[in-house]
Structure 1
Amino acid sequence: MDGLKKGEDSEEVEINLGDSSDPEEFDHGEQPQTLWKAPSHPEAEESIHSSSLVDISDTKPLLNVRDPRGINDCLKVTFEDVIAEPVSVRSGDRVWIWSHALFEVSRVWIYRIITVLLAIPISILSGILFAVLSCIHIWMIIPCIKCILLGTRWLQKLWSVVLEVLVRPLLASAGRCCAGFSLHLAEE
């Protein structure tokens, strides 16, 4: 999972659950099986977006790049980020391999099960929340701010005159007074 980069297609992950001391296990031309990832079908993904209405829509889902802005880069957690055995204390090779495989499988499948149960309701609630906040911002907050700015235009003009007449000459004269000072640093 850590090897995925932005904009790249996902790759199949192969985990050999055999003992690392069995080198002749795949000598007969066999390839190890992937445990949990189904092979992707690019034709099926292309047929999803065949409608011209979907092509111009701004809500078209991004199937390959699901985090284009890198919002969740902190969640790229692998087995090595969580569990690490020092050289002085080691478990058996099979225990390490099975732990790694079970960690990855459980992480992926529990996430998928939870998203099946929660993704659609949370997406609907988030959509409603952002729609309400956008409506309030567009139709209430910005008009109120514009009304306040229009009503206080005289105050803005008065403030700019006060700054121009009183504060600017005072700060300009203080700057000219301080311009005569020079600071020299000498090493001892």
Structure 2
Amino acid sequence: MDTMIKGDDSNEVEIDLEDSTDSDEFDNGEEPETLWRADRSVEEDEDIHTSTLVEISDTKPLINVRDPRGINDCLKVTFEDVIAEPVSVRSGDRVWFWSNALFEVSRVWIYRIVTVLMAIPISIISGLLFAMLSCFHIWFVGPCSHCILIGARWLQSLWSIVLGIIVRPFLTSAGRCCGGFSVHLARE
């Protein structure tokens, strides 16, 4: 039996590479059950659909990756980005240590307090705004633009006729006239 073993991890995976046409194991006349012929049970189908729905949910926030598109990369500020002492002028080590600690703690906690006070109202306002804009676009802008395009089909066909009869021959003849010119550069 040919097998492949992945041994770098503590969990080893064994893959059977044996030919499925070998019939010496099934001498009793039964055909082996193959995975591509096996029907999935109804319970498995329901589990797949519900787990997919849970993973794709619009209301489930990203807990671990909160800025997946890197929108706020400019806000990755550390103490050394704000305060830096040159070699020639230095404060005491304890002052530097406590300044760093107070900077980090105040930055984190003030951010948390401000987000508690402002995040929920701003989320509600922005949710309402985007919902109204989406509704306006879906139910007003989209149908109106389609109605205008349907009503303006005659204008589109008229424009293509004008381009085909007047503009294209004029530009073609101008191109042929200018194509007869040639420029030769010579050194004297």
Q: What's the TM-score once normalised by structure 1's chain length?
A: 0.65
- Kindly provide the CA deviation profile for residues 29-60 of structure 1, in whole angstroms up to 9, marking residues without a partner as x: xxxxxxxxxxxxxxxxxxxxxx9564452221
Relative distance call for 1:151 and 1:100 in structure 2 (3 A) is same
- Kindly provide the CA deviation profile for residues 16-38 of structure 1, in whole angstroms up to 9, marking residues without a partner as x: xxxxxxxxxxxxxxxxxxxxxxx
Show the counterpart of 1:77: 77
- Distance in 2 (CA, whole Å) between partners of 1:76 and 1:102 is 17
After superposing on structure 2, the runs of 4+ consecutive aligned residues of structure 1 that deviate more than 6 Å are: 184-188
- Distance in 1 (CA, whole Å) between partners of 2:88 and 2:186 is 56
1:70 match: secondary structure: coil
Show the counterpart of 1:139: 139
Indicate yes or no: 2:109 matched with 1:118: no
- Kindly provide the CA deviation profile for residues 73-101 of structure 1, in whole angstroms up to 9, marking residues without a partner as x: 11111112211222222222221221111
Q: How many residues align?
A: 138
- Distance in 2 (CA, whole Å) between partners of 1:76 and 1:187 is 61
Relative distance call for 1:160 and 1:104 in structure 2 (3 A) is same
- Distance in 2 (CA, whole Å) between partners of 1:95 and 1:132 is 52
Cα deviation, residue 185, structure 1: 7.0
Cα deviation, residue 108, structure 1: 0.7
Q: What's the TM-score once normalised by structure 2's chain length?
A: 0.65
One-letter amino acid matched to 1:64: N
Structure 1 stretches of 5 or more lacking a match? 1-50
Higher Cα Rg: structure 1 or 2?
2
Show the counterpart of 2:38: none
User: Which structure has more strand as a fraction of its residues?
Assistant: 2
Map 1:15-30 onto structure 2 (within 5 A). none
Show the counterpart of 1:163: 163
One-letter amino acid matched to 1:122: I
Show the counterpart of 1:105: 105
| Pairwise CA RMSD | 2.4
One-letter amino acid matched to 2:79: F
One-letter amino acid matched to 1:142: G
Show the counterpart of 1:19: none
2:137 match: secondary structure: helix
Deviates further, 93-102 or 173-182: 173-182
Structure 2 stretches of 5 or more lacking a match? 1-49
1:88 match: secondary structure: coil
1:77 match: secondary structure: coil
- Distance in 2 (CA, whole Å) between partners of 1:187 and 1:77 is 62
- Distance in 2 (CA, whole Å) between partners of 1:177 and 1:89 is 76
- Distance in 2 (CA, whole Å) between partners of 1:175 and 1:165 is 16
Q: Specify which structure has the bigger relative contact order, considering alpha-carbon pairs within 8 angstroms and separated by 6 or more residues.
A: 1
